[in-house]
């Protein structure tokens, strides 16, 4: 058999190393299409002139475009037969990526657990992306629910990894080559700097974006993500929801773009501390977002830049003004679609 049907749960083994196919060279065309899909306005990714003032050769590729590209490499081997992508942790962004760089990815299976129904299991992988020089651009852990090919098949050995709830400041590497003394707040679009944000503060990002069917499929193809649940309406008509699911990363990028209105000076994502896709999203849904500042902490050896740990919550078809994201039972509300805990870098005063 020459075609690839993807791995099912019983095909995975603890410690298994997977080198993913199809290295991808990112171009100016990719960045333009990414902007067209999400409307991101962060100046560092939009302007070569802005980036050059910070000591970079040109505007780097958006951090989440890097994330999606690396993620997409892993799909044919890890989640082609997925029921759902469940969460993220321990994500660290490394060397900045520029148009012309080629990204490749590899994964290691670090955890496995068969579900009680015997039909599916959860696979934990640590995926690493690197550029053509072998420099690490991203590493992260994700866990995904995968179907079994044969419900009677013996489950692989069970192990659930112990994952950190926060990427510590000493591990953040998102400032490679960046000199913040050239930062232009007017060009960036906000006067608010690191000192202006306080733990516990909530920011309603106000705006909303409606997802069109063509947009989310185009975006997912841009990342070469081949998961069937996003494309094949003929198959999904017989599935749990009767229609195609929007790729969860599409919602992350929408939420990040919406967050510009309130966090415009969060010029880089340094880490993904944790994240959950809470409820499904479909074409026609309108996404809103708000953010809560969880922590504000200094970076070792840097007095010009600080870090904010932020939780961004996205909801569908529901404004986030004064919007709680969990009920009295501690469970996410039905309108919540994303609960994303990440660390951003922001200029400091002085």
**pLDDT tens per residue across span 270-305:** 999 999 999 999 999 999 999 999 999 999 989 999
Spatial distance between the Cα atoms of 311 and 292, rounded to a whole number of angstroms: 5
199 and 271, same structural domain?
A: yes
Does any domain span residue 4?
Answer: no
Nearest to 272 by CA among 177, 188, 174, 199: 174
90 and 144, same structural domain?
A: yes
**pLDDT tens per residue across span 138-196:** 999 999 999 999 888 887 888 999 999 999 999 999 887 899 998 999 999 999 999 99
Count of structural domains within the chain = 2
3-state secondary structure of 333: coil
323 and 194, same structural domain?
A: yes
Does any domain span residue 67?
Answer: yes
Does any domain span residue 228?
Answer: no
Q: How many of the other CB atoms lie within 10 Å of CB of 40?
A: 20
8 A C-beta contact, residue 273 and residue 303: no
Residue 285: the pLDDT is: 98
CATH of the domain at 73: 3.10.129.10
Does any domain span residue 241?
Answer: no
192 and 142, same structural domain?
A: no
Mean pLDDT of 6-20: 94
Domain span at 52? 12-151
The residue whose two tokens read 């015997």 is 118
Residue 2: the pLDDT is: 85
Q: What is the mean pLDDT of the chain?
A: 94
Nearest to 233 by CA among 250, 213, 218: 213
Q: Is 316 exposed, middle or buried (0-12, 13-18, 19+ CB in 10 A)?
A: buried
199 and 119, same structural domain?
A: no
**pLDDT tens per residue across span 25-51:** 999 999 999 999 999 999 999 999 999
Does any domain span residue 317?
Answer: yes
Mean pLDDT of 5-32: 95
**pLDDT tens per residue across span 112-140:** 999 988 899 999 999 999 999 999 999 99
Across 137-151, 227-241, 259-273, least confident range: 227-241
Per-residue confidence at 84, pLDDT binned at 50, 70, 90?
Answer: confident
Per-residue confidence at 8, pLDDT binned at 50, 70, 90?
Answer: very high
Spatial distance between the Cα atoms of 346 and 307, rounded to a whole number of angstroms: 6
Tell me the β-bridge partners of 143.
Answer: 87, 124
Residue 317: the pLDDT is: 95
Across 58-62, 253-257, 330-334, least confident range: 330-334
Per-residue confidence at 228, pLDDT binned at 50, 70, 90?
Answer: confident
203 compared with 156, residue with greater pLDDT: 203
Mean pLDDT of 212-231: 93
């Amino acid at each position: 058999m020459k075609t690839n049907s993807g791995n099912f749960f019983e095909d995975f083994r603890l410690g298994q190393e997977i080198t993913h196919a199809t290295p991808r060279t990112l171009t100016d065309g990719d960045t333009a299409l990414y902007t067209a899909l999400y409307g991101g306005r962060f100046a560092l990714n939009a302007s070569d002139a802005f980036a050059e003032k910070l000591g970079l050769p040109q505007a780097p590729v958006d951090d989440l475009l890097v994330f999606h590209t690396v993620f997409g490499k892993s799909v044919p081997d890890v989640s082609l037969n997925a029921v759902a992508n469940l969460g993220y942790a321990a994500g660290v962004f490394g060397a900045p990526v520029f148009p012309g760089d080629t990204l490749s990815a590899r994964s290691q299976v670090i955890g496995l657990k068969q579900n009680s129904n015997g039909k599916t299991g959860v696979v934990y992988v640590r995926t690493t992306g690197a550029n053509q020089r072998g420099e690490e651009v991203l590493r992260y852990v994700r866990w995904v629910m995968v179907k079994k090919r044969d419900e009677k098949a013996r489950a692989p050995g069970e192990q659930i990894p112990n994952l950190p709830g926060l990427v510590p400041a000493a591990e953040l590497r998102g400032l490679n080559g960046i000199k913040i003394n050239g930062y232009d707040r007017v060009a960036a679009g906000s006067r608010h700097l690191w000192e202006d944000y306080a733990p516990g503060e909530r920011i309603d990002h106000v705006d909303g974006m409606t997802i069109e069917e063509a947009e989310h499929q185009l975006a997912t193809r841009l990342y070469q993500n081949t998961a069937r649940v996003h494309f094949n309406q003929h198959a999904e008509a017989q599935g749990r929801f009767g229609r195609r699911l929007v790729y969860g990363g599409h919602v992350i990028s929408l939420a990040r773009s919406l967050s510009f209105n309130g966090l415009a000076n969060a010029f880089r994502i340094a880490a993904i501390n944790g994240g959950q896709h809470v409820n499904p999203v479909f074409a026609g849904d309108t996404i809103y977002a708000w953010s809560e500042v969880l922590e504000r902490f200094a970076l070792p050896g840097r007095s010009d830049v600080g870090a904010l740990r932020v939780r961004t919550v996205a909801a569908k078809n529901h404004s986030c003004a004064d919007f709680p994201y969990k009920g009295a039972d501690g469970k996410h509300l039905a309108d919540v679609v994303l609960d994303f805990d990440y660390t951003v870098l922001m200029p400091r005063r002085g």
